[in-house]
Chains A and B, each alone.
Chain A
Amino acid sequence: MRKLWYTMKYKQLKKIIPVFSILLALALQIFIPNSPLHPQSKPYFTYVLIGFLTVYLILYLISFVRTSIDKMLVYRGAFIGGVVLFFNILNLLTAKAALLPVLYFPSLDRVFGVIAEQTDVLAKCVLYSARLLFFGIVFGALAGFTTGICLGFSKTVSYWLSPVIRIIGPIPSTAWIPLVLIAFPTAVSASAFLVGVAVWFPTTIMTSSGISNVQNAYFEVSRTLGASHRYQIFRVGIPAAMPHMFLGLFNGICSSFITLVTAEMIGAKYGIGWYINWQKEMLSYANVYAGLIIIAVLFSVLITLLFRFRDKILVWQKGVIKW
């Protein structure tokens, strides 16, 4: 009974860590004056902290009714507290004490200020980038799966194509720019192609290696069960290679993020990569960091969605393959 009481108290303590961390950050932010070296700005960091505190307190209240939220807060409590502490220290080092070079390390007030004040430009950039990523990833992945499947199943295709792919695949995307500019009618299609190539290469490699790694016994048993060649490809080879294909897609999407900045170098009007590049040249690092925060959020949402999707279609591989 006593022990149970202690573990319960311990649990509540873990859940309350972020609240203390946020309150500490708020107190320091409000009571320590900003260094005069930093340009004046509205206290956006205070707003962010207050907003975050509100959201957390709402979750905290819900956690007494919902066990899933409760578990998440108990588990994540220390981490969230730590992240807030990190921003707190960063705030002290920049805005409060100006210990870091002011030009390269703008105050958090200004970084969040960019997101708050330039919302429409940033939103437009996000939409443009999302469109580019969407077309690039869809076409790149489709092309990658197709090439990978052909490579995996056909000896002839493998003989002719795999050396070519080995040469073309690792070419950095910047090297394509001159060629792509001539070959594609619009800047958007050219950029989408660059993103597509970035997705295509890892998808192809992982798909074909996934198919060549399928146990021969699966094909043999399917033949004794009366499966045609076509049926073997689509109902045995591809499902068996699915985890590898997914890994390829995952790698591809990661490299597409990296390529995005390059792709937006060609005649882009908007785009988050273009925005960061442009602001970097203007030496406005507050805007660069704001762009980076947006990219990080955007990509982690995309990756989370991808994992959800994988868990849904690859239920069977739990307990078979782990990655």
Chain B
Amino acid sequence: MKRTLHTVWLVARRELRTRVQTRAFVLGTLFMALLVLAFPVVTLFAGASNAPEDELSASDSTTRLGITQSANGLADPLERKAGVDRPAISVRKVADTETGKNLVREGELDGVVAGTPTAPELFVERHVFPHLERALTTITYNNQLDAEMSRSGLDPEAVRDRAGRGEVAIVSMGESQGAADGPMAGISDAEKAQRLIIAMISTFLLYMFLIMTGQMISQGVVEEKSSRVVEVLLSTIRSTELMAGKIVGIGLTGLIQFAVIGVLGFTAATATAVLTLPTFTVAGLLGWAVLWFLLGFTLYATMLAAASSLVSRQEDLQSVITPVIMLLIVPFFVGVSVLPTNPDGTTGTVLSMIPGFSPMLMPMRLALGGVPLWQGALSVVLSLVASAAVLWLGGRIYSNAVLRTGARVRLKDALRAS
């Protein structure tokens, strides 16, 4: 066992070294890094031209609000409502509505609240304060509710106290409790949009990496066969050790690249404020993406290694790996077309747990949020079971086919012969 692990590591180390040192790897990583870095910058500029809220929220983090005497009851709840990760709200009293409106025109204030605590009016130059609207709506709603309860002879505080005992346990997958401060319904449109973008980008990255590392696996297997070095290797190590080492080494290569680009991308997006999700949410999503990269990679890499071992020349490779690549392409396009519109639909939910589909669909669902823990766990377990089966079968095919040079080995023969 120790010897086996050591051998697998030796093979993996060689793969990692020879690949990371190539110019293709370095340039490829640089290129993708630039792409990932360019994305938030472009979004920022694009966003700046049609959504001035970015300018404001970026330059002026506190929303200055004037409040008239009649609406004064809203001042305290408003200041409290301004959450940590939302722009803070500062409130000051104004004499009357007209004075406040003038201050807004002069740029002294961002908005004026008039009216009554149950029917407030918000005057702004342009409506670019969704958080303000949200806060006011909630406060008004509560005030209205309290008023109605009092009118019906109920004690609002007692009712709230009793109502507050009903608990809803929401476990947001992959996010620490800080991010799970509200159910899906409580997630703002802006956050939803960000989650969708993250989902699309991470799924696309995942897809790209699986294709790329899969290509490396295929070419590596055939290279060893066509250069005949495989016979020298197999005279001292087992074919399963060779295959495992190859998969581990190339997997690490891909993971390094994936991690570099992922971290770089999220850092850039956060720094340019294109992404305003809390850091732990992002880290969680990144962690899930990495886990699914590993799960998906194990599955596809094994299938590709086995398929590639059937042929001896790079020219013949395409015909044997196409069916496997299709198993990657189809879920990707299904995922991209089905999920974003209806992430919790039955089709998406079921498919996201089926091995083969799960590496593409589950990370996307996770990024969109609101996936029950059992579904996430089940899809991981199913994927692991499928990987074990594929490893066993693939190892057998690989062992039987890897020494047969010349014509393409038929799958049936590779499975049967010993």
Please say whether chains A and B are actual partners in one complex.
no
